[in-house]
Amino acid sequence: MMIRNRHLEFFSTTPHISTFLVGLLAKMEERNATDENFDESSINAVKASLMGPMAAVGDSLIWGTLRIIAAGIAISFATQGNILGPILFLLIINVPAFALRWFCLNQGYSMGTKYFEEFAESGAMEKISRGASILGLLVIGAMAATMIYFELPLQVGAGDFAMPLQSYLNEIMPGLLPLGLFGIMYYLLGKKMKTTTLLVGIFVVAILGSFLGIM
């Protein structure tokens, strides 16, 4: 099979670490050109077998962790009207991403298939993926607790003994309502509801709740 046709086959993985596989495949193509006994079918086999595990690690590390951390930092500045919000988001996302692309390409070409074989056998890939997922969940939890504002102005009692319902809820569990709202959004997203529909629904409920004085 010609090199051009071989690399037109389906390939999908996290772009930020895909350069590792690009470098690895370049090394294999180089060996294929100089070694008559080299099995060229192994090139596509390696690409097909590794793009899934690489996507799992890359998605957890980049999209599930780094992007959320960048968004959390950026939102905290942006809510105060600070221009550093979008600038920091772009820097936190792109600087490590471009550095990772260069590093992965260099390592993939210089180490060849042996590196990934040892990496997979040691179980490090699963550990990195699990650790990145845990870190991402921790960041999401912190963002839900600090950046979601939802309180009820309703009063419980009468006259001088009236107390805000929110104060009772805070005594039971601080941040209970933001947590509940986050849980509802997470559930609806799990049911494949479109984010646009969710945003419109939040606007409608918030406007009606404010108009009726219950939110």
79-113 per-position pLDDT tens digit: 888 898 889 999 988 898 899 889 988 888 887 65
Instruction: Report the pLDDT value the prediction gives residue 87, as an integer from 0 to 100.
Output: 92
Q: What is the pLDDT of residues 165-209, one digit of tens each?
A: 777 777 777 777 888 888 888 888 888 888 888 888 888 888 887
Indicate whether 34 and 112 sit together in one domain: yes
Indicate whether 143 and 162 sit together in one domain: no
Looking at the structure of the chain, the number of domains it has is: 2
Tell which of 147, 168, 202 closes a domain: 147
**Which amino acid is located at 40 in the chain?**
E
Indicate whether 28 and 107 sit together in one domain: yes
Instruction: Report the pLDDT value the prediction gives residue 13, as an integer from 0 to 100.
Output: 83
The reported pTM is 0.53
Indicate whether 143 and 182 sit together in one domain: no
Q: What is the pLDDT of residues 1-58, one digit of tens each?
A: 566 677 777 777 888 888 888 888 888 888 778 877 777 777 777 777 777 777 777 8
Contact by Cβ (8 Å): 18, 7: no
Higher pLDDT, 179 or 162: 179
Residue 150 has pLDDT above 80, yes or no: no
Share of the chain above pLDDT 90, in %: 3
Q: Which domain holds residue 102?
A: 3-147
Tell which of 147, 167, 201 closes a domain: 147
What is the C-alpha separation between 192 and 62, in angstroms, rounded?
Answer: 23
* pLDDT, mean of residues 150-172: 71
Instruction: Report the pLDDT value the prediction gives residue 129, as an integer from 0 to 100.
Output: 61
What is the C-alpha separation between 50 and 42, in angstroms, rounded?
Answer: 12
Indicate whether 52 and 85 sit together in one domain: yes
Tell which of 147, 163, 181 closes a domain: 147
CA nearest to 143, candidates 62, 38, 67, 29: 67
Q: Report residue 114's pLDDT band, with 50, 70 and 90 as the boundaries.
A: low
Indicate whether 11 and 32 sit together in one domain: yes
Indicate whether 202 and 168 sit together in one domain: yes
Instruction: Report the pLDDT value the prediction gives residue 138, as an integer from 0 to 100.
Output: 73
